[in-house]
A and B are shown apart, each in its own frame.
Chain A
Amino acid sequence: MEALIEILYLIFVSPFAEMVAYPDLFFQGIWDGFVSGTLYGLIALGFVLIFKASGVFNFSQPILVVLAALSLVSFYKMGIPAWISVILVLVMFYVLAFLIERLILRKLVNQDGNILFMSTIGLTFLIIGSAQWIFGGRPSAMITDELGLPNGSLEWPMFGGGVYFEMIDISAAVIASIMIVILALFFSKTKIGRGLRAVADDHQAALSVGISLNQIWVIVWFVAGVVALVTGIFWGARSDVSFALQIIGFKALPVLIIGGFTSVPGAIIGGLIIGLGEKVFEIYWGPLLGSGVEGWFAYIIALIFLLFRPQGLFGDKIIERV
């Protein structure tokens, strides 16, 4: 009985007591969770863009993030100036998008969603193998200084302690927000954006009013590549650039579940929920379970959401007809 009370105390009382006793640590955790949540959201955004435009559940988005970061660093190491490397990576992604559309997606038009999804797993392996071959598999540091990103940190004293804001994290949050605004404008105001939404709504109707499906797919894969590049730069700055980033990329899947597969704001809000949730859980409840819970806690949050809202927060309601 005493042991039970002890456990209940550890679960329900002491974490909250710690939060109140050391508010600076709590805010530090919230900030870290916020930043990683933004980046999860960005990866999820890449998924959503492609799913919206072509109905393909693009499993290769995490590896695109790795590829972007890895090739950027490798180009720089070859002696190419940082900004030109960025442009080179963008060109590479455009070529890649074109090839994917021409060689894979075009041949699989009208196939079942599952088949398209599996073809993106195949694509993932193609990219892993080639990237490892060409760029090598060793982890390396991201070239943040050369890209003109600020480093160092701001300390903001509060509650007797201090909260550190890494400059790179602040710029990640700012650039992510700018990017989301640009994407939202791109989707609602430009001609291409309207085309994208039309394709998402109905392939055949879009074709019949003269929208080129193939062109739209190339564009959307390219945009997903750009999102991957931004995510890759900031994740690469937070940890090293290596293939382990792919596992982080998988965290975007629970984010999608929470936000819904078709919603851009959903991806961001889902990312924040996952980022904050897992950070706070890891700090306050993780030690009870022997730490390292960050690896799976996101999926558990997603499962709980699924039980109550199977279509996600902002997803379209699933209506089934027999």
Chain B
Amino acid sequence: MFYRETGQFKSKYKEELAAFPLFEDKIGIGILLLLAYVAIPLFGIPGLSYEFTLSAIMIPVVIFTITTLGLNILLGFAGQISLGTGAFMGVGAYSCYKLMTIFPDLNILICVILSGLVTAFVGMLFGLPSLRIKGFYLMVATLAAQFFLEWAFIRIPWLYNYNNSGGIEGPNKEMFGIIISGPQSEATTRYFVCLTFLVLLTWLASNVIRGRIGRSWMMIRDMDIAAELIGVRPLTAKLSAFAFSSFYVGISGALMVFFWLGAAEVESFDINHSFTYLFMVIIGGLGSITGCYMGAILVWVIPVLIKEIGKTSFGYDAFVMENLSIILLGFMIVVILIVEPHGLARLWQIAKQKLRMWPFPY
């Protein structure tokens, strides 16, 4: 009813390829941006406390959406499976920490971007086996990355400046006279920083994916030998996918430690976290940017809400709620895979199609 392309004619190829070819899509994105930038920081989510909304829901969701974008680029667009996401986030976090201690005057946002580049390099290194192997074999190779990096975060004291706790923590960092990171910063400020990163990175991802590199990734994903025959270089395509994906994951890791947790140890980057990010991608939908948002929101928010409601309204034990949320996560995965293996993004697409036709069935 509201969502029709009727009457919106395109006279140039450029318009055809635009990110949001439909006028309604532009309005929708505008409303979402307004909600995220204005409404939520001003009013929070009704029914939940403001502090809880920002630091337990919005900031992690924004950060994990960046992680999911990164993993989805690798898994959904380039078809290379990875179970090392958690450890790559660790690479981002630790390299940001080292950059901040080596160059104390450097702006923290530049540190975050540089740590993304460092992670991209490490990701490329661990992506090298993908040139020879694929599928489940590649998965085991990325497990090697996960366990090796976890070990490195414990056994190389240089990474955490030889402190006794073995963890890393962020100092207060200022920008334009406002403290944007560290223990004294406001949740709202940190939320704005993360959100801006997310918006910019989403914009970048959607353009890269529609461009030449992104199309070469999808060719490799669909059939690598055929792609090679028509002139896609597997070396550049696969390694650039690993680098690009790790860049996102690294940035999200740095943001997670310095804009959300404040301090972190190796446990924040272990294999169970890698699985959670994989779930976000699967539930959201492989090969879809919208899906990244949906997956991250669903997988993160539902357990948090269940724990919160269980604790405050029913007074359940934290242990029970923890297990309940693990069970629910597993259940969600299985149900989504049975109902719609392409994830929430596909369901959303179907809904949009229905809306377009409404009230007629065909």
Contacts and interface: CB of A to CB of B under 8 A. Distances in A.
Contacts, number: 125
A248 B329 CA distance: 23
Given A253-B140, A302-B144, A303-B141, A125 B327 contact: yes
Contact of B151 (A117, A125, A296): A296
Closest 4 CB pairs of A and B: A122-B333, A125-B330, A299-B144, A129-B326
Interface stretch (A23-31, A88-96, A186-194, A285-293): A285-293
Given A104-B338, A123-B330, A129-B324, A261 B136 contact: yes
A273 to B, nearest CB: 15
A126 B330 contact: yes
A130 B144 contact: no
A247 B330 CA distance: 18
A122 B336 CA distance: 10
Interface string B124-165: 000001001101110111011001101100111000000000
A121 B144 contact: no
B323 A133 contact: yes
Contacts of B41: none
Interface residues of B, number: 46
B136 A118 contact: no
A132 interface: yes
A254 B147 CA distance: 12
A295 interface: yes
Contact of B326 (A119, A128, A307): A128
A126 B328 CA distance: 7
Contact of B330 (A108, A129, A293): A129
A198 interface: no
Nearest to A117: B136
A208 interface: no
Given A121-B333, A296-B151, A306 B141 contact: yes
Given A121-B278, A290-B155, A302-B140, A296 B147 contact: yes
Interface of A: 57, 104, 107-108, 111-115, 117-119, 121-130, 132-133, 137, 247, 250, 253-254, 256-257, 261, 289-293, 295-296, 299-300, 302-303, 306-307, 310, 320, 322
Contacts of B155: 289-292
Given A133-B323, A300-B144, A310-B137, A108 B337 contact: yes
A132 to B, nearest CB: 5
B150 A295 contact: yes
Contacts of A303: 129, 141, 144
A306 to B, nearest CB: 5
B136 A57 contact: yes
Given A261-B136, A290-B155, A306-B133, A107 B330 contact: no
Contacts of A256: 140
A114 B338 contact: no
B249 interface: no
A295 B151 contact: yes
B326 A296 contact: no
B3 interface: no
Contact of A296 (B132, B135, B144, B282): B144
B345 to A, nearest CB: 15
A297 to B, nearest CB: 9
B106 interface: no
Contacts of A300: 144, 148
Residue among B136, B154, B223, B332 with most chain A CB within 10 A: B136
B23 interface: no
Contact of A122 (B133, B140, B143, B330): B330
Contacts of A290: 155-156
A322 B225 contact: yes
Contact of B337 (A118, A130, A293): A118
Nearest to B145: A299
A117 B155 CA distance: 33
A233 B66 CA distance: 42
B132 A125 contact: no
8 contacts: A108-B337, A113-B135, A118-B337, A119-B337, A123-B330, A129-B328, A293-B151, A299-B144
Contact of A129 (B275, B327, B341): B327
A306 B137 contact: yes
